[in-house]
Amino acid sequence: MPRLPRNIHKAGFFHIMVQGINKSYIFQTEMQKKEYIKLMKECNKKIDIKIIAYCIMDNHSHIMIYSENITNISSYMKSLNTRYGIYYNKTNDRIGFVFRNRFQSQYIDDKNYLINCIKYIHMNPVKAGKTLKEEDYKYSSYNEYFKNKKFILNKEPLIKIFIDKKSILKRIETANDKIEVMDIERDEENFKIAIQEYLRKNKLNLGEIKNNKNKIIEIAEYLKNKRYKQVQLAKILEINPKTLSRILK
């Protein structure tokens, strides 16, 4: 599959996801969704990242970001969620955390997966039964792609890869929205299922893997292809993440 170049310090494309604490509906109203999108734009003026796609649902949001500097992504999300948290608490007369955690991120290093992920993000409201078509949902970037509504998107990183806008739109229209994409709601459950499938297929148990460097490398590669993170494997094997990183070097 075609791969995108990556430099540890000069990042690339990331799929970001945030969720309300205790799965709370922190974006339930039209006003709340509009406020979050407005803050996305305002924070982007101060921090150099490029927003490729987004969708704001009732209790979570998806944002695809491109950045030349990986630290800018953390700065952007911290600023965005801090400002929204202040707004949400003030308008709801509450105190405390608003988001479940800072954010989850998934690095994208494959051209086909990149396009499929954009499709997946836009299909969220359709799959949730909120709308029949992607174009009917007002709080995603779909119409910024297909109806020339300008707001916060920056398509330059995509054009550099796929040559022109027409090619990008054609790819998104025909993309596969059923791919395995990071999703806070199901990520932990799917990870456990993936582990169980691997163990059953290879007739192993976790203890046998934990004590075998080659088996650790094998299962890490298996999970990497399914786009799970090393830290998840380290947790289930009860291995320090730094120790796991040394094993996999």
Domain count, the chain: 2
Q: Residues 132, 237: one domain?
A: no
Question: Is the residue at 179 inside a domain?
Answer: no
Percent of the chain with pLDDT over 90: 36
- Confirm if 56 and 140 have CB atoms less than 8 A apart: yes
Same structural domain for residues 156 and 205?
no
pLDDT of residue 186: 53
More confident residue, 25 or 190: 25
Shared domain for 129 and 33, answered yes or no, is yes
Q: What CATH number does the domain containing 96 carry?
A: 3.30.70.1290
Q: Are 119 and 107 in contact (CB under 8 A)?
A: no
CA–CA dist 56, 61 (Å, integer): 4
- So what's the pLDDT on residue 39? 96
> Is the pLDDT confidence value at 141 over 80?
yes
Check residue 201 and give its pLDDT.
84
Residue at a domain's end among 173, 204, 229: 173
Q: How many helices (H) and strands (E) does the chain have?
A: 11, 4
pLDDT at 73: 93
Distance of CA 4 to the CA centre of its chain: 17
pLDDT of residue 233: 80
Q: Which domain holds residue 127?
A: 12-173
Please compute the mean of the pLDDT values over residues 191-216 and round it to a whole number.
Answer: 82
106 with 44, same domain: the answer is yes
> If you compute the radius of gyration of the chain from its CA atoms, what whole number of angstroms results?
19
Q: What is the DSSP letter of 3?
A: B
Q: For the whole prediction, is pTM greater than 0.95?
A: no
pLDDT value, residue 178: 66
45 and 127 inside one domain: yes
> Greater confidence, 157 or 80?
80
pLDDT at 7: 46
Question: In this predicted structure, what is the pLDDT of residue 72?
Answer: 93
DSSP for 12-67?
EEEEEEEEBGGG--TT-SHHHHHHHHHHHHHHHHHS--EEEEEEE-SSEEEEEEEE
- Average pLDDT rounded to a whole number, residues 40-60: 93
Say if residue 165 is in the same domain as residue 95: yes
pLDDT at 136: 94
Statement to judge: residues 135 and 192 lie in one domain:
no
Q: What is the mean pLDDT of residues 102-127?
A: 88
- Is the same domain home to 35 and 88? yes
